[in-house]
Amino acid sequence: MSVALKKDEYYTYEDYYHWDTDERYELIDGSPYLMAPAPGIKHQLVVVELAGEFRDFLKDKPCKAFVAPIDIRLNADAEDDTVVQPDVLIVCDREKIDERGIRGAPDLVVEVISPSSEAYDSGVKLDRYLKAGVRECWIVNPADHIIRVYTKNSNGEEAMKAYGRDDTVQAEIFPGLSVSFKTVFDAAEF
């Protein structure tokens, strides 16, 4: 029997964890968000390239890279009512990693947007990531070849830098981690 989720009801991570449904959801401040169907090939190839770049950079470092699907429970110090699944992420605090996923804000998240998820990923989710303390967020659009990098400084002020297809993005919080998006986007062509 599949659960009938109601947008106007409040849910916690425990509710989410025990849902009996074949559909995939994320949970933002207690509200369920139905995830779009599986992304297209370009999306997946961009995710694989970025995950590979992150994995190679992090070799012999204490941080770890992950790819979706993995549950990120953003509210580490409060009610677990927000569960998201960014496409790619980096976590440096091993205490945040448990059998169910990640508890607390990752250090860096990447959302590779699809036409069906663009408003949600670059709106509701991005806002929630920044509020939860994610230090750096990359929003990657494979269709338009645009990369937006959002950071928060120590005063809590947000900044955004935009990049294009031929640019190399240097991670703000990981000196030495640079990604050539020409290489990433070229690899996503088939």
In which residue are the tokens 């699944």 written? 85
Q: Let me know: does 86 contact 73? Beta carbons within 8 Å.
A: no
Rounded Cα–Cα distance for residues 36 and 115 (Å): 10
pLDDT digits (tens), the chain, 190 positions = 345 577 778 998 888 888 888 888 899 999 998 887 878 899 999 999 999 999 999 999 999 999 999 999 998 766 778 999 999 999 999 999 999 999 999 999 999 998 888 999 999 999 999 999 999 999 999 999 999 999 987 787 889 999 999 999 999 999 999 999 999 999 988 7
* Residue 46 CB neighbours (<10 A): 24
Q: What is the pLDDT of residue 2?
A: 46
Tokens of 173: 């919080």
Q: What is the pLDDT of residue 52?
A: 97
Sign of CA dihedral 85, 89, 93, 98: positive
Q: What is the pLDDT of residue 157?
A: 85
Residue 26 covered by a domain: no
Residue 10 covered by a domain: no
Domain, as residue range, for 167: 38-187
Residue 50 covered by a domain: yes
Residue 132 covered by a domain: yes
Q: Is residue 61 classed as helix, strand or coil in its secondary structure?
A: coil
Q: What is the pLDDT of residue 9?
A: 87
Residue 164 covered by a domain: yes
Exposed, middle or buried by CB within 10 Å (0-12, 13-18, 19+), for 11? Answer: buried
Residue 114 covered by a domain: yes
Give me the DSSP letters along 138-160.
Answer: EEEETTTTEEEEEEE-TTS-EEE
Residue 99 covered by a domain: yes
Each residue's pLDDT tens digit, 19-52: 888 888 899 999 998 887 878 899 999 999 999 9
Q: What is the pLDDT of residue 77?
A: 66
* Residue 93 CB neighbours (<10 A): 15
Exposed, middle or buried by CB within 10 Å (0-12, 13-18, 19+), for 65? Answer: buried
Average pLDDT, the chain: 91
CATH of the domain at 73: 3.90.1570.10
Domain count, the chain: 1
Residue 100 covered by a domain: yes
Q: What is the pLDDT of residue 3?
A: 53
